[in-house]
Structure formats: C-alpha cells, structure tokens
Structure 1
Amino acid sequence: MSSSPALTKPAPTSQVPASAVGKQKPYPFWLGGVAATIAASITHPLDLTKVRLQASGDKRMLESIKKTVRTAGIRGLFDGISGTWMRQMSYSMCRFWAYEESKKYLGATGKDVPAWKLGLAGSMAGGIAGFVGNPGEIVMVRLQGDFAKPPEKRFNYKHCFDALFRMVREEGPSSLARGVGPNVFRAILMNASQLASYDFFKSELLKTKYFEDNIICHFTASFAAGTVATTVCSPADVLKSRIMNASGPGSSSTIGAIRTAIASEGPTFMFKGWVPAWMRLQPTTILIFLTLEQLKNLVDYGRGKGFEWF
C-alpha cells in the first residue's frame, strides 16, 4: 500500500533545481500544524457544539447551536477559538512531525507500504502527540464548554494563555495532566484509524476503474476515513471531554467518570455527540489534506525561486 500523497508528496521537478531531484529536502515540520489550525478555525462551531453536547445536558446538535446563538450571538459559535489554535499548534503539529519520523523509523516511506506499518506509525505519533498536546487539549475543551455551564460553575478564562496560567496557579501543575490517559488513547486511535484508513481506502479506490488520483478520490477516501475515525474515537473522546471539564479533587478518575455516566445515562453515552463529531471530522479531514497540499506546493514554489529558508 502506498503512503498518503498529502504526507509524502515529492516536489515537481520543474520547480526544484536539478541537483535537488532525488534528495528532496524535508518539508518544514510545522506545516501540519498550520494546515490543521486553518481547518479547525473553519470547523470550530461544529467542534464547539460537539464538546458542549458531550460535557453538558444539551440533547440535540441544532438545539445546542440555537442555544449558543441565542445566548451569545453568532460570535458565540467561535467561543474558545484561541484554545483551538493552541491545541492545533501543539498536538497537530506534533502528530504530523511524529508520523513522518515514525514512518522513517519503521521503514515505511516507500511504495506499497503494508497497512500495519502505517497503522503502527500512526499509533506511535498519536501517543507522542497526545501526551505533548494534553495541556492545549484541556484549555480548548474548557474554553469551548464554559458557556454551556451555569454562571457559578464557569472558569471565565479570558483566552488560552490565561487558562494555562490560572490552571497552574489555582489547581497546580498536575492539572495539565488531567485526562492524559483518555487523551493519549484517543490520539492513538485517531491517528491510526484516520491516517492508515485514508491510505487504505485511497489505495482500494485507485484499484477500481471508477477513480483516478484526483480530488474526487481524495474526498471519497477522506469521507470513509473520517467515518471510521469518528466511530473508533467516540468513547475516548467523550470521556476526555468530561474529565477535562471537571474540577476539584477526585473528579479526574476515568473509572469514576465511566461508572457515573453508565449509571445515569447507560452505555450509549460513549457515542453521545457522534453526529456533530462526524460532521466536524469530515470537513476537517478534507480541509487538512487539501490545505497541507497547497502549503507544500507553496514551499516547492518558494524553493524553486531560491527561497531556501522554506
């Protein structure tokens, strides 16, 4: 199985000096973070709704969106966007970098790479990124879920850095590790299911007579990968949101959160917010890959023009 062209696309020879052909300079490690930040900014209202469904008593996606607009206006749909940016420039930047490095380590950078190697590389990247990006994940979840709470229970953070500093000051440095277990587990599942399944579906589609290596194929593969990733990650995602939104001693226990939720809502709580999660992940997956492709084209163009600082 071949690896994703969005992650390992060689530069066009017409844009790169002849001496560079065959030994392409690696792309900047931060490209994935920038692409993810752009995509997440566009889909932020859906992500906000997903978190509020998971962490609050809201029952339906449209009702939650209407409630947000009614209480905070259209701007309310972008509450906590600074937390989203912090999360993407930590977690997402790390996962794209770690994925490429993991593929190199596993010898999974050529053509016809076995699916298990891609899945393992995605799992390794997810484990690293989930740990590194945990503080940004907490900040994002708290900023997004704050206005869904009663006024007396809100954190009232001004922005992502205020949230980070106040957490350390008021709850101690250990608060930055709240929910790290479910977060790392979810990150492993996400990267393994999303990246590996995208490569699998794309490879299978190209074997048919109906698809060529173009945007239609990429869209279809992303759609299928997004559905798989949403379903696989939903239980860990719900637990992560509830634990990170909690405060006070004894409130960060994963087992305790599971027992409480099952007792009051039943086991189906693990898939609460699946629809908005799916609706967010589909466009996000497509936007990330398309944006990353364009950023890489921009780097290739800049290098072709002599801007070697790219």
Structure 2
Amino acid sequence: MSKPNANPPLSPPAPTSQVPSSVAAPKKKKPYPFWLGGVAATIAASITHPLDLTKVRLQASGDKRMLASMQKTVRTAGVRGLFDGISGTWMRQMSYSMCRFWAYEESKKLLDATSPSAPAWKLGLAGSMAGGIAGLVGNPGEIVMVRLQGDFAKPPEKRFNYKHCFDALFRMVREEGTSSLARGVGPNVFRAVLMNASQLASYDFFKATLLATPYFEDNIYCHFTASFAAGTVATTVCSPADVLKSRIMNASGPGSSSTLATIRTALATEGPLFVFKGWVPAWMRLQPTTILIFLTLEQLKRGVDWTRGKGWDVL
C-alpha cells in the first residue's frame, strides 16, 4: 500500500486582475460658447418679429385686435412695416438674451443644479438670478427695441423717428440724458426675473420630466414639447410686467415713467384686466419664439459637439 503524499501539489494561483496604478479621470466636457443663446434668440426673434411688433403696439396704443393692428401697419407702411425696428430687436437679443443664457448656466453651477434631477426650485432660482442680471444689462436695448417698434403706432408729431438702434441709443443719451437708459428698469428687471424663471427653468424641468418617461428621447420631439409648455407658462406669468414695461418705456416727458402713475391711469380707464392686454399676440409671438430659441439652441449645441468630434476645436 502506497503512502499518501505528505505534500500535495499546490493549486495554481488564482489570476489577479491587472489594475493600473493610476486610472485617468474622464475628461470634463468643455462648456459651450457663452454666445450660443444670444445667436439662437436673435434668429428666433428675427422670424417672429412681426408678431412681437404687433404685441408692443397693442400694449402701447389704442388698437384692440391683433389682425386689425397688423392690417393697419401694412396699410400705412407696407409689408416692410411689419419689420419696423428690427435693428432694435437684434440689439436687445445680443445684449439681454446673450447675458441671460450665460448667467443661467453660471447660476446653475453655483446652485449645483446642472444635473437632470435638479429640483425645480433650484432651476427657478437660477432663472431668477439670471433674469435680474440680464434685465439690468439689457435695459437700454429693451428701450430701443420698444421705441422703434412702437413709433409708427403714434401720431406723427409724437414719434421719435429714430433711423436705427444706434441712432436711438445716441439720441436718447444726447436728448434725454444718460438716466434715460434706465427708464422702466424696475418693471423690466421684474419681467426678466419672471421670464427666465418661467421660460428657461420650466424648459429644463419639462425636458427632464419628459426624458424620465419611456416615450421621449433627447431629440427634436422632446425639445419641441418642452419648449411649447415653457412658452405657455412664460406668457401667462410675464404678461402683467410686460404690459407695464411697454407703456412706461414708450412714454416721454417728465413724470411719465412713474410705474404707479401708469398703473393708476390704466386701472381707471381699462380695469384690472389691462395687465393681460395683448395676451393672445404675446402668446402667439412668445410660443414660436420659445420653440425656435430652444430648437435652434439645441441644434447649435449639436453642431458644436460635431465640430469638436471632428477635431476642429474652434468653438
């Protein structure tokens, strides 16, 4: 009988995983250019300018109906009249809108609200912060836009007759003083806070909510639905401040820029619903504008990603 082996053969050692001594952290995605929002807003506003023009004239004049106001514009100034003051629109978008998109993204970083699961209150707060900053920065462009758009709705003797946005800016400073650039800044900042909290924040909220369902992917259908909802919310929330802003900025003369005086006069002559005057053209203008802004912005972002993917790191 053979003796059992006192030293049985050792089993081969279990393979060990090769773990590198240092694992490279994933490369942080480069932020998008800060001016993308301004470009997207300028493109959208150029397309919807006739509706914005009609909204301002309804708010600042005695016109009652949107179609009647548009017909009056075409009758008195031709089809080109529907694009009166478009240089003011460009100035406003490349100051106010560029600033608000940049400030919104920076505010989200500050509040740690960049993830898709960020709570709605953080998004709203980031939008409000961005609106306050952009409302101050963009106030001169806002005044120029409103005055250029509303000029032909006035009697000839009361018109400003600005040639373009820069002529308006220089003449305001020369004829009314530097303080004229701050006319209506209170209602404008208030309206900007409401707009960004209700438009930018609600778009992010609706987009994240839709992507959390099994029915939507991150594509144009999701972007369209989220922007449609955001546009309706923003129109309703911003209408009161928008009406006051337009009336104060269109006023001229000492004491005509008083917010309380404007409210008292409008309440006495038109009733409390005056704050929603022009809601339909405002919705018809803001809705396609909101949709166009976000669809354009998303496509611009994809264009930037595409160029970076090709190695053309110019943006």
TM over 0.5: yes
Mapping for residues 15-94 of structure 1, pairs under 5 Å? 22-94=27-99
Query: Aligned partners of 1:21 and 1:203: how far apart in 2?
Result: 24
Structure 1 distance, partners of 2:225, 2:304, is: 27
Contact 2:111–2:122 (Cα < 8 Å) also in 1: yes
Q: Which of 162, 181, 194 does residue 189 from structure 1 map onto?
A: 194
Partner of 1:270: 275
Partner secondary structure for residue 253 of structure 2:
coil
1:247 and 2:268 correspond: no
- CA change 1:309–1:199 in 2 (3 A) is closer
| C-alpha separation in 1, matches of 2:258 and 2:145 | 20
Structure 1: distance between partners of 2:214 and 2:306: 33
Give a deviation string over 1:245-304, Cα, whole Å, max 9, x none.
Answer: 001110100001000110111111100010011011111111111111221222222223
Q: Residues 110 and 42 from structure 1, CA distance in 2 versus in 1: closer, same or farther, beyond 3 angstroms?
A: same
Q: 1:66 to 1:298 in 2, by over 3 A?
A: same
Coordinate RMSD, CA, aligned: 1.5
Matched, 1:104 2:112: no
Does residue 180 of the first structure (1) align with residue 185 of the second (2)? yes
Q: Deviations over 1:19-70 (max 9, x none)?
A: 9963111111111100100000000000000000000010000000000011
How far 1:211 moved relative to its partner?
3.7
Structure 2 CA distance for partners of 1:90 and 1:294, relative to 1, 3 Å: same
Mapped to 1, the partners of 2:229 and 2:254 lie a distance apart of 41
C-alpha displacement of 1:212 = 3.8
**Cα drift, residue 207 of structure 1:** 4.4
Q: Any idea what the Cα deviations from partners look like across 1:90-138, whole Å, max 9, x if unmatched?
A: 0000000000110111111123101110000000000000000000000
Alpha-carbon displacement from aligned partner over 1:207-236 (angstroms, at most 9, x marks no partner)? 445444332232222112111110110000
* Structure 1 moving runs of 4+ over 4 Å: 207-210
Q: How far is the alpha carbon of 1:82 from its aligned partner? A: 0.1
Secondary structure of 1:58's aligned partner: coil
**Partner SS, residue 70 of structure 1:** helix
Counterpart in the other structure of 1:95: 100
Partner of 1:145: 150
Q: Kindly tell me: are residues 55 and 222 of structure 1, through their superposed partners in 2, closer, same or farther at Cα, counting changes over 3 Å?
A: same
Contact 2:104 2:129 in 1 (8 A): yes
Q: What amino acid is aligned across from residue 34 of structure 2 in structure 1?
A: F
Q: Structure 2: which 5+ residue stretches go unaligned?
A: 1-23
Which residue in 1 is equivalent to 2:308? 303
| Residue 162 (structure 1) aligns with | 167
Relative contact order, higher structure (CA 8 A, sep 6+): 1
User: Aligned pair in 2 of structure 1 residues 200, 296: CA closer, same or farther (>3 Å)?
Assistant: closer
What count of residue pairs does the alignment treat as equivalent? 292
Provide the residue aligned with 1:119 in structure 2: 124
Q: Helix, strand or coil: the match of 2:199?
A: helix
Match of 1:4 in 2: none
| CA 1:21–1:71: 2 relative to 1, 3 Å | farther
Which letter maps to 2:28?
K
TM-score under structure 1 length normalisation: 0.91
**TM-score normalised by structure 2 residue count:** 0.89
Secondary structure at the aligned position of 2:200 is classed as helix
Deviation at 1:305, TM superposition (A): 3.4
Counterparts of 2:230 and 2:285, CA distance in 1? 13
